[in-house]
Amino acid sequence: MTDMNANTNRADAHATHLNDANPRIVLGTMGFGTQVDPDTSFAILDAFVDGGGDWLDTANCYSFWADPSGVGGASERVIGAWLAARPGARDAVRIATKVRQNPLVPHSWPESAEGLSARAVHAGMAESLERLGVDHVDLLWAHAEDRTVPLEETVGAFGELVTKGVASRVGAANHTAWRVERARSLAREQGAEPWTALQLRHSLVQPRPLTPLAEGGHRHLTPEDLDLAEAEGLEVWAYSSLLWGSYTRPEKPFPDTYDHPGTARVLAVLDEVAGEVSATKNQVVLAWLLRQGIAPIVGVSRVQHVEEALAARDVRLTGDHLARFDAAR
Protein backbone atom coordinates (compact mmCIF):
# COMPACT_ATOMS: atom_id res chain seq x y z
CA MET A 1 0.00 0.00 0.00
CA THR A 2 3.02 2.33 -0.03
CA ASP A 3 2.17 3.99 -3.35
CA MET A 4 -1.41 4.63 -2.36
CA ASN A 5 -0.33 6.11 0.98
CA ALA A 6 2.14 8.42 -0.73
CA ASN A 7 -0.39 9.58 -3.30
CA THR A 8 -3.07 10.17 -0.68
CA ASN A 9 -0.73 12.13 1.57
CA ARG A 10 0.33 14.31 -1.36
CA ALA A 11 -3.32 14.88 -2.24
CA ASP A 12 -4.12 15.89 1.32
CA ALA A 13 -1.13 18.24 1.44
CA HIS A 14 -2.33 20.00 -1.72
CA ALA A 15 -5.92 20.10 -0.56
CA THR A 16 -5.21 21.90 2.71
CA HIS A 17 -4.67 25.08 0.70
CA LEU A 18 -7.90 24.90 -1.30
CA ASN A 19 -10.84 27.12 -0.40
CA ASP A 20 -10.25 26.81 3.34
CA ALA A 21 -11.55 30.36 3.73
CA ASN A 22 -15.03 29.30 2.62
CA PRO A 23 -15.76 25.62 3.23
CA ARG A 24 -19.35 24.55 2.69
CA ILE A 25 -21.67 21.59 2.90
CA VAL A 26 -23.49 21.08 -0.41
CA LEU A 27 -26.89 19.40 -0.48
CA GLY A 28 -26.99 16.64 -3.07
CA THR A 29 -30.48 16.21 -4.50
CA MET A 30 -29.97 13.23 -6.80
CA GLY A 31 -32.79 11.17 -5.29
CA PHE A 32 -35.40 13.92 -5.15
CA GLY A 33 -38.55 12.91 -6.97
CA THR A 34 -37.47 9.28 -7.34
CA GLN A 35 -35.95 7.65 -4.24
CA VAL A 36 -37.08 10.59 -2.07
CA ASP A 37 -40.72 11.65 -2.38
CA PRO A 38 -41.56 15.34 -2.96
CA ASP A 39 -42.91 16.01 0.55
CA THR A 40 -39.77 14.62 2.17
CA SER A 41 -37.64 16.50 -0.36
CA PHE A 42 -39.39 19.75 0.58
CA ALA A 43 -38.77 19.08 4.28
CA ILE A 44 -35.09 18.37 3.60
CA LEU A 45 -34.71 21.56 1.58
CA ASP A 46 -36.43 23.58 4.31
CA ALA A 47 -34.17 22.11 7.00
CA PHE A 48 -31.07 22.73 4.90
CA VAL A 49 -31.88 26.41 4.41
CA ASP A 50 -33.00 26.84 8.02
CA GLY A 51 -29.65 25.38 9.09
CA GLY A 52 -27.69 27.90 7.04
CA GLY A 53 -27.02 25.77 3.97
CA ASP A 54 -27.10 27.47 0.59
CA TRP A 55 -25.72 25.30 -2.26
CA LEU A 56 -27.94 22.72 -4.00
CA ASP A 57 -26.38 20.29 -6.45
CA THR A 58 -28.49 18.54 -9.08
CA ALA A 59 -28.25 17.41 -12.72
CA ASN A 60 -30.53 17.12 -15.71
CA CYS A 61 -30.07 13.33 -15.71
CA TYR A 62 -31.15 12.75 -12.07
CA SER A 63 -32.29 10.09 -11.61
CA PHE A 64 -33.07 8.40 -14.91
CA TRP A 65 -32.06 4.95 -13.60
CA ALA A 66 -34.69 5.12 -10.84
CA ASP A 67 -37.47 6.86 -12.79
CA PRO A 68 -40.14 4.78 -14.56
CA SER A 69 -39.93 7.28 -17.43
CA GLY A 70 -36.34 6.20 -18.12
CA VAL A 71 -35.11 9.81 -18.33
CA GLY A 72 -33.90 12.40 -15.86
CA GLY A 73 -35.42 15.67 -14.72
CA ALA A 74 -37.26 14.63 -11.56
CA SER A 75 -34.75 16.26 -9.19
CA GLU A 76 -34.85 19.58 -11.01
CA ARG A 77 -38.65 19.52 -11.12
CA VAL A 78 -38.85 18.97 -7.34
CA ILE A 79 -36.45 21.84 -6.70
CA GLY A 80 -38.48 24.02 -9.07
CA ALA A 81 -41.72 23.15 -7.27
CA TRP A 82 -40.09 23.91 -3.90
CA LEU A 83 -38.85 27.28 -5.14
CA ALA A 84 -42.34 28.10 -6.46
CA ALA A 85 -43.88 27.19 -3.10
CA ARG A 86 -41.36 29.19 -1.07
CA PRO A 87 -41.38 32.87 -2.09
CA GLY A 88 -37.91 34.31 -1.59
CA ALA A 89 -36.23 30.89 -1.48
CA ARG A 90 -34.31 31.56 -4.70
CA ASP A 91 -32.46 34.36 -2.92
CA ALA A 92 -31.47 31.98 -0.12
CA VAL A 93 -29.95 29.23 -2.25
CA ARG A 94 -27.44 28.81 -5.02
CA ILE A 95 -28.16 26.17 -7.61
CA ALA A 96 -25.65 23.98 -9.43
CA THR A 97 -26.83 21.66 -12.18
CA LYS A 98 -25.20 19.58 -14.90
CA VAL A 99 -25.58 18.78 -18.57
CA ARG A 100 -24.37 15.51 -20.13
CA GLN A 101 -25.58 11.93 -19.59
CA ASN A 102 -29.38 12.39 -19.68
CA PRO A 103 -30.80 9.68 -21.97
CA LEU A 104 -32.24 11.14 -25.15
CA VAL A 105 -34.12 7.86 -25.64
CA PRO A 106 -35.90 6.51 -22.54
CA HIS A 107 -34.26 3.49 -20.94
CA SER A 108 -31.33 3.71 -23.35
CA TRP A 109 -28.14 4.62 -21.51
CA PRO A 110 -25.33 5.03 -22.35
CA GLU A 111 -26.28 4.48 -25.98
CA SER A 112 -28.40 7.64 -26.15
CA ALA A 113 -26.63 9.66 -23.46
CA GLU A 114 -26.71 13.40 -24.09
CA GLY A 115 -23.30 14.75 -25.11
CA LEU A 116 -21.45 18.05 -24.97
CA SER A 117 -21.97 19.44 -28.46
CA ALA A 118 -22.93 23.11 -28.55
CA ARG A 119 -26.47 22.14 -29.49
CA ALA A 120 -26.73 19.63 -26.64
CA VAL A 121 -25.29 22.05 -24.06
CA HIS A 122 -27.67 24.87 -25.02
CA ALA A 123 -30.69 22.56 -25.21
CA GLY A 124 -29.85 20.89 -21.91
CA MET A 125 -29.47 24.22 -20.16
CA ALA A 126 -32.77 25.54 -21.53
CA GLU A 127 -34.62 22.44 -20.37
CA SER A 128 -33.01 22.61 -16.91
CA LEU A 129 -34.02 26.24 -16.47
CA GLU A 130 -37.60 25.37 -17.40
CA ARG A 131 -37.77 22.52 -14.91
CA LEU A 132 -36.17 24.61 -12.17
CA GLY A 133 -38.36 27.62 -12.94
CA VAL A 134 -35.40 30.01 -12.78
CA ASP A 135 -33.70 32.38 -15.21
CA HIS A 136 -30.17 31.28 -14.35
CA VAL A 137 -28.13 28.79 -12.37
CA ASP A 138 -25.18 29.75 -10.21
CA LEU A 139 -22.92 26.97 -11.47
CA LEU A 140 -23.24 24.74 -14.52
CA TRP A 141 -21.18 21.54 -14.66
CA ALA A 142 -20.09 19.48 -17.63
CA HIS A 143 -21.12 16.19 -16.05
CA ALA A 144 -18.59 13.98 -17.85
CA GLU A 145 -16.19 14.12 -20.76
CA ASP A 146 -17.44 13.80 -24.33
CA ARG A 147 -14.47 13.06 -26.55
CA THR A 148 -16.67 12.72 -29.63
CA VAL A 149 -17.02 16.52 -29.67
CA PRO A 150 -14.13 18.96 -30.16
CA LEU A 151 -13.26 20.48 -26.79
CA GLU A 152 -13.22 23.90 -28.47
CA GLU A 153 -16.92 23.51 -29.24
CA THR A 154 -17.85 22.52 -25.69
CA VAL A 155 -15.79 25.34 -24.17
CA GLY A 156 -17.39 27.86 -26.49
CA ALA A 157 -20.91 26.68 -25.65
CA PHE A 158 -20.30 26.95 -21.90
CA GLY A 159 -18.82 30.41 -22.39
CA GLU A 160 -21.87 31.50 -24.38
CA LEU A 161 -24.18 30.48 -21.54
CA VAL A 162 -22.22 32.67 -19.13
CA THR A 163 -22.30 35.57 -21.62
CA LYS A 164 -26.07 35.14 -21.92
CA GLY A 165 -26.38 35.26 -18.13
CA VAL A 166 -28.08 31.88 -17.74
CA ALA A 167 -25.05 30.42 -15.93
CA SER A 168 -23.02 32.50 -13.50
CA ARG A 169 -20.04 30.12 -13.49
CA VAL A 170 -19.04 26.84 -15.13
CA GLY A 171 -17.15 23.79 -13.96
CA ALA A 172 -16.08 20.27 -14.92
CA ALA A 173 -17.22 17.06 -13.22
CA ASN A 174 -15.48 13.72 -13.80
CA HIS A 175 -12.88 15.20 -16.14
CA THR A 176 -9.18 14.42 -16.19
CA ALA A 177 -6.91 17.21 -15.03
CA TRP A 178 -5.25 17.60 -18.43
CA ARG A 179 -8.61 18.02 -20.17
CA VAL A 180 -9.62 20.69 -17.67
CA GLU A 181 -6.39 22.61 -18.19
CA ARG A 182 -6.70 22.26 -21.98
CA ALA A 183 -10.27 23.57 -21.77
CA ARG A 184 -9.14 26.53 -19.67
CA SER A 185 -6.43 27.32 -22.22
CA LEU A 186 -8.99 27.19 -25.04
CA ALA A 187 -11.29 29.47 -23.07
CA ARG A 188 -8.51 32.02 -22.75
CA GLU A 189 -7.90 31.83 -26.49
CA GLN A 190 -11.61 32.31 -27.20
CA GLY A 191 -12.12 35.01 -24.60
CA ALA A 192 -14.72 32.73 -22.99
CA GLU A 193 -15.49 32.04 -19.35
CA PRO A 194 -13.29 29.13 -18.19
CA TRP A 195 -14.18 26.21 -15.94
CA THR A 196 -13.37 27.31 -12.39
CA ALA A 197 -14.50 24.30 -10.34
CA LEU A 198 -13.91 20.55 -10.25
CA GLN A 199 -16.30 17.86 -9.02
CA LEU A 200 -14.98 14.35 -8.40
CA ARG A 201 -15.50 11.45 -6.05
CA HIS A 202 -13.57 11.60 -2.78
CA SER A 203 -13.83 10.47 0.83
CA LEU A 204 -11.72 9.70 3.88
CA VAL A 205 -11.12 6.06 2.99
CA GLN A 206 -9.56 5.35 -0.37
CA PRO A 207 -9.89 2.40 -2.76
CA ARG A 208 -7.01 0.25 -3.90
CA PRO A 209 -5.05 2.14 -6.58
CA LEU A 210 -5.89 1.52 -10.22
CA THR A 211 -8.97 -0.55 -9.40
CA PRO A 212 -11.96 0.05 -11.68
CA LEU A 213 -15.09 1.58 -10.22
CA ALA A 214 -18.37 -0.30 -10.48
CA GLU A 215 -20.34 2.95 -10.68
CA GLY A 216 -20.58 4.12 -14.28
CA GLY A 217 -19.16 7.57 -14.91
CA HIS A 218 -17.50 8.04 -11.52
CA ARG A 219 -13.96 9.38 -11.36
CA HIS A 220 -11.81 9.69 -8.24
CA LEU A 221 -10.07 12.85 -7.14
CA THR A 222 -6.32 12.51 -7.71
CA PRO A 223 -3.22 14.40 -6.61
CA GLU A 224 -3.03 15.80 -10.16
CA ASP A 225 -6.52 17.26 -9.82
CA LEU A 226 -5.61 18.89 -6.54
CA ASP A 227 -2.31 20.17 -7.92
CA LEU A 228 -4.20 21.85 -10.77
CA ALA A 229 -6.83 23.24 -8.41
CA GLU A 230 -4.23 24.74 -6.10
CA ALA A 231 -2.20 26.23 -8.95
CA GLU A 232 -5.23 27.72 -10.70
CA GLY A 233 -7.40 28.61 -7.70
CA LEU A 234 -10.19 26.20 -8.64
CA GLU A 235 -12.92 25.06 -6.25
CA VAL A 236 -13.12 21.34 -5.51
CA TRP A 237 -16.40 19.57 -4.71
CA ALA A 238 -16.53 15.91 -3.63
CA TYR A 239 -19.45 13.61 -4.31
CA SER A 240 -20.15 10.26 -2.62
CA SER A 241 -18.42 11.86 0.35
CA LEU A 242 -20.05 9.47 2.84
CA LEU A 243 -19.91 6.44 0.51
CA TRP A 244 -23.64 5.70 0.68
CA GLY A 245 -23.71 5.28 4.45
CA SER A 246 -20.88 2.75 4.63
CA TYR A 247 -19.20 4.51 7.58
CA THR A 248 -22.16 3.95 9.89
CA ARG A 249 -24.52 1.35 8.42
CA PRO A 250 -23.55 -2.34 8.67
CA GLU A 251 -26.03 -3.20 5.92
CA LYS A 252 -24.11 -0.86 3.57
CA PRO A 253 -20.61 -2.37 3.43
CA PHE A 254 -17.82 -0.61 1.60
CA PRO A 255 -17.41 -1.71 -2.01
CA ASP A 256 -14.85 -4.44 -2.64
CA THR A 257 -12.34 -1.91 -4.00
CA TYR A 258 -11.99 -0.51 -0.46
CA ASP A 259 -11.05 -3.90 0.99
CA HIS A 260 -7.42 -3.41 2.03
CA PRO A 261 -5.53 -2.94 5.33
CA GLY A 262 -5.47 0.84 5.06
CA THR A 263 -9.26 1.01 5.28
CA ALA A 264 -9.32 -0.93 8.55
CA ARG A 265 -6.63 1.31 10.04
CA VAL A 266 -8.38 4.52 8.99
CA LEU A 267 -11.72 3.30 10.34
CA ALA A 268 -10.09 2.50 13.68
CA VAL A 269 -8.75 6.07 13.88
CA LEU A 270 -12.16 7.37 12.82
CA ASP A 271 -13.76 5.60 15.79
CA GLU A 272 -11.19 7.13 18.14
CA VAL A 273 -11.47 10.66 16.75
CA ALA A 274 -15.28 10.62 16.75
CA GLY A 275 -15.21 9.84 20.46
CA GLU A 276 -12.60 12.51 21.19
CA VAL A 277 -14.52 15.32 19.45
CA SER A 278 -17.99 14.05 20.49
CA ALA A 279 -19.21 13.78 16.93
CA THR A 280 -20.63 11.07 14.71
CA LYS A 281 -18.35 9.27 12.30
CA ASN A 282 -20.13 10.89 9.36
CA GLN A 283 -19.55 14.32 10.88
CA VAL A 284 -15.84 13.61 11.29
CA VAL A 285 -15.56 12.52 7.65
CA LEU A 286 -17.28 15.72 6.51
CA ALA A 287 -15.16 17.83 8.85
CA TRP A 288 -12.03 16.15 7.43
CA LEU A 289 -13.07 17.14 3.90
CA LEU A 290 -13.91 20.68 4.97
CA ARG A 291 -10.52 20.93 6.66
CA GLN A 292 -8.96 20.06 3.28
CA GLY A 293 -10.87 22.97 1.75
CA ILE A 294 -13.06 20.54 -0.21
CA ALA A 295 -16.83 21.02 -0.34
CA PRO A 296 -18.55 17.68 0.39
CA ILE A 297 -21.82 16.97 -1.41
CA VAL A 298 -24.16 15.14 0.94
CA GLY A 299 -27.16 13.25 -0.40
CA VAL A 300 -29.79 12.60 2.28
CA SER A 301 -33.20 11.00 2.58
CA ARG A 302 -34.23 12.31 6.00
CA VAL A 303 -34.28 15.67 7.75
CA GLN A 304 -32.15 14.24 10.56
CA HIS A 305 -29.41 13.53 8.03
CA VAL A 306 -29.38 17.21 6.99
CA GLU A 307 -29.07 18.35 10.58
CA GLU A 308 -26.25 15.88 11.24
CA ALA A 309 -24.37 16.98 8.12
CA LEU A 310 -24.65 20.70 8.81
CA ALA A 311 -23.41 20.18 12.37
CA ALA A 312 -20.14 18.90 10.89
CA ARG A 313 -19.22 22.55 10.25
CA ASP A 314 -18.72 22.91 14.00
CA VAL A 315 -16.45 19.88 14.40
CA ARG A 316 -12.88 21.01 14.98
CA LEU A 317 -10.19 18.59 13.91
CA THR A 318 -6.66 19.32 15.09
CA GLY A 319 -3.40 18.86 13.26
CA ASP A 320 -2.84 15.77 15.39
CA HIS A 321 -6.13 14.27 14.19
CA LEU A 322 -5.17 14.84 10.58
CA ALA A 323 -1.70 13.36 11.13
CA ARG A 324 -3.20 10.24 12.66
CA PHE A 325 -5.47 9.73 9.65
CA ASP A 326 -2.50 10.17 7.34
CA ALA A 327 -0.38 7.69 9.30
CA ALA A 328 -3.19 5.12 9.26
CA ARG A 329 -3.06 4.90 5.50
**Structure confidence by residue, pLDDT tens digits, 117-135:** 999 999 999 999 999 999 9
pLDDT tens for residues 226-261? 999 999 999 999 999 999 999 999 999 999 999 999
What is the model's pLDDT at position 11? 41
Q: In this structure, are residues 17 and 230 in contact, taking their beta carbons and an 8 Å threshold?
A: yes
pLDDT at 19 over 90: no
pLDDT at 98 over 80: yes
Interhelix angle 151-164/177-190, rounded to 10 degrees, is 60
Q: What is the pTM of this model?
A: 0.92
What is the model's pLDDT at position 2? 33
pLDDT at 188 over 50: yes
What is the model's pLDDT at position 23? 64
Percent of the chain whose predicted confidence (pLDDT) is above 90: 89
Quote the CA–CA distance of 205 and 289 in Å, as a whole number.
11
What is the model's pLDDT at position 244? 94
pLDDT tens for residues 198-216? 999 999 999 998 888 778 7
What is the model's pLDDT at position 15? 42
Quote the CA–CA distance of 110 and 280 in Å, as a whole number.
38
What is the model's pLDDT at position 22? 59
Output the average pLDDT for the chain.
Answer: 93
CA dihedral 147, 148, 149, 152 (to 10 degrees): 40
What is the model's pLDDT at position 12? 43
Give the lowest-confidence range in 172-181, 213-222, 265-274, 316-325: 213-222
Residue 301 CA to its chain's centroid (Å): 17
Catalogue all structural domains in the chain, each as residue range(s) with its CATH number.
Answer: 2-328 (3.20.20.100)
